[in-house]
């Protein structure tokens, strides 16, 4: 169904169905947001608004800002801070919960799709553990931009409706200003949501949450005797697929705690993430992760580790052999998704013996040269069966090694009678020209902190078409400038 002007709704007329809030305690605690003082609308996402049939004209009305800043409740909403636990950097924390966010409510659009409205930066809740419960403008902008960037790349992710800024001072590494973001997802239930009840031995609550999740997000499993095992298998496969998609585009999440992993396989809880520039398997975006637990190369294994934590939590609901069989689907699903993704990046239409070695040899060359991940793959599409790409070769100091690999690559292309033009079109459709590099987000943040929100809009327009050649935007497709070396990302990001 196409959303038309007749289906658009004001924010006071959204179709709320607050199923999670109706679960009551112990799944969450009803709490109202703490209003942001002196709120200002930093940006409004009309694309996200369309997902809930929200009239984009609402962004110009004073009442929208009052609702988005937490000053006034949205009619029909039922705010609740969600309870969960989680493994943080491998250590189990028995109670976490929404310490700086609130589930405002769940909107059902005209197509029957359910979207959580989750206000991040909403002030303290009973789960804040003494902290202020605020987000800062810097982190709000980074999450807002990256959600849209990953969505445009075809990677499952939360979205965001808007950013609201404020003059309220907030201390992180330095004093910054507070901000909030209304993020959107079909659900904000996460692996840690199950871990908390398993750790407490609350099997009834564990079963209630599992049945609730199945009813709303895995309805094909309703009534099946082995529905919990099948849910676990679905989560396992989706998580494996998500990890493969991250690896393929060079995205590194930075804080892959189980409380930051969605039960539906979405990218969630953006913090010190980064799109890798110079290829390095041990790339770590998070200054707070010196041991590299969540390094780029570790992401597939950590995804598997997190699924194992979910399997452990769900054991009271199924025989162990069912849990093991569901968990064991992770590695095959990962291998298939990753091989397919990298084969597409190489422009190969079929799988053949030796493809893994061909890929590994390229990655070794890229690692030795610290070749730019995005630029190198994009430039590879310019290779033809009888002509090199200067843009590709320029990434490598080892030209003999590069030339030798290209000779093997061309031989492989000829085995499937690859057509240069067709292959270029296919490769350009999976190897982006533009990604959200850390320095780009930093420029948007720096300008916004001075009251200039225009770069946010420019980047959104750019990143919504990451595979297109966009004349005049070449500067956004380059590696980090020298000044960007001083940028540090941490868990406060």
Active centre residues (catalytic): 259
The alpha carbon torsion through 322, 328, 332, 333 (nearest 10 deg) reads: 70
Count H helices, E strands: the chain? 17, 12
Q: Residue 336: is it exposed, middle or buried by C-beta count within 10 angstroms (0-12/13-18/19+)?
A: middle
Q: Alpha-carbon distance 202 to 208, whole Å?
A: 10
Residue 368 CA to its chain's centroid (Å): 29
Cα-trace Rg, the chain? 23
Q: Alpha-carbon distance 86 to 96, whole Å?
A: 7
**Which ranges in 202-319 belong to alpha helices (H)?**
203-217, 227-249, 299-314
Q: Alpha-carbon distance 257 to 381, whole Å?
A: 36
Q: Alpha-carbon distance 281 to 122, whole Å?
A: 37
Contact 429, 122 (CB under 8 A): no
3-state secondary structure of 273: coil
Q: Alpha-carbon distance 456 to 444, whole Å?
A: 6
Q: Alpha-carbon distance 127 to 133, whole Å?
A: 9
Region of 105 (left: φ > 0; alpha: ψ -120 to 50; beta: rest) is: left
As given in the structure block, the two tokens for residue 474 are 């070449």
Query: CA angle, 310 as apex, 210 and 206 as ends, to 5°?
Result: 30
Reported residue count of the chain is 493
As given in the structure block, the two tokens for residue 40 are 């200002």
As given in the structure block, the two tokens for residue 318 are 């199924």
Q: Measured on CA atoms in the order 287, 309, 329, 155, is the torsion positive or negative?
A: negative
Q: Alpha-carbon distance 98 to 88, whole Å?
A: 15
Q: Alpha-carbon distance 66 to 74, whole Å?
A: 9
């Amino acid at each position: 169904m196409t959303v038309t002007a007749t289906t658009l709704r004001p924010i006071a007329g959204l179709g709320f169905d607050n199923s999670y809030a109706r679960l009551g305690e112990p799944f969450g605690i009803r709490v109202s947001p703490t209003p942001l003082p002196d709120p200002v609308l930093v940006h409004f996402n009309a694309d996200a608004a369309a997902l809930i049939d929200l009239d984009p004209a609402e962004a110009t009305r004073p009442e929208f800002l009052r609702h988005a800043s937490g000053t006034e409740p949205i009619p029909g909403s039922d705010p609740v801070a969600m309870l969960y636990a989680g493994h943080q950097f491998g250590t189990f924390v028995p109670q976490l919960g929404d310490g700086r966010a609130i589930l405002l409510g769940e909107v059902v659009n005209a197509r029957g799709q359910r979207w959580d409205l989750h206000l991040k930066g909403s002030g303290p809740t009973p789960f804040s553990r003494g902290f202020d419960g605020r987000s800062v403008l810097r982190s709000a902008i980074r999450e807002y931009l990256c959600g849209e960037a990953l969505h445009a790349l075809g990677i499952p992710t939360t979205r965001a409706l808007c950013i609201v800024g404020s003059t309220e001072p907030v201390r992180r590494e330095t004093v910054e200003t507070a901000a909030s973001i209304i993020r959107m997802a079909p659900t904000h239930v996460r692996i840690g949501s199950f871990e908390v009840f398993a750790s407490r031995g609350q099997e009834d609550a564990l079963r209630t949450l599992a049945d609730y999740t199945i009813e709303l997000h895995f309805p094909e499993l309703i009534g099946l005797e082995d529905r919990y095992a099948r849910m676990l298998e679905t989560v396992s496969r989706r998580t494996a697929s998500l990890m493969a998609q991250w690896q393929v585009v060079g995205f590194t999440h930075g804080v892959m705690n189980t409380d930051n992993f969605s039960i539906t396989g979405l990218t969630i809880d953006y913090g010190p993430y980064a799109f890798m520039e110079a290829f390095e398997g041990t790339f770590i975006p998070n200054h707070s992760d010196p041991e590299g637990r969540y390094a780029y190369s570790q992401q597939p294994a950590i995804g598997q580790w997190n699924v194992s934590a979910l399997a452990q939590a769900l054991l009271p609901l199924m025989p162990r052999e069912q849990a093991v069989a569901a968990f064991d689907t992770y590695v095959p699903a990962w291998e298939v998704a990753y091989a397919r993704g990298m084969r597409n990046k190489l422009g190969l239409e079929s799988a053949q013996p030796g493809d893994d070695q061909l890929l590994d040899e390229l990655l070794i060359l890229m690692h030795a040269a610290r070749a730019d991940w995005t630029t190198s793959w994009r430039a590879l599409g310019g290779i033809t069966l009888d002509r090199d790409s200067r843009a590709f070769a320029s990434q490598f100091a080892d030209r003999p090694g590069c030339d030798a690999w290209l000779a093997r690559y061309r031989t492989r292309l000829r085995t499937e009678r690859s057509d240069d033009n067709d292959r270029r079109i296919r490769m350009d459709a999976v190897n982006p020209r533009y990604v959200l590099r850390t320095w780009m987000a930093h420029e948007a943040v720096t300008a916004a902190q001075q009251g200039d929100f225009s770069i946010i809009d420019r980047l959104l327009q750019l990143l919504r078409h990451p595979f297109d050649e966009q004349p005049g935007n070449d500067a956004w497709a380059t590696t980090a400038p020298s000044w960007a070396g001083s940028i540090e990302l941490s868990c406060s990001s």
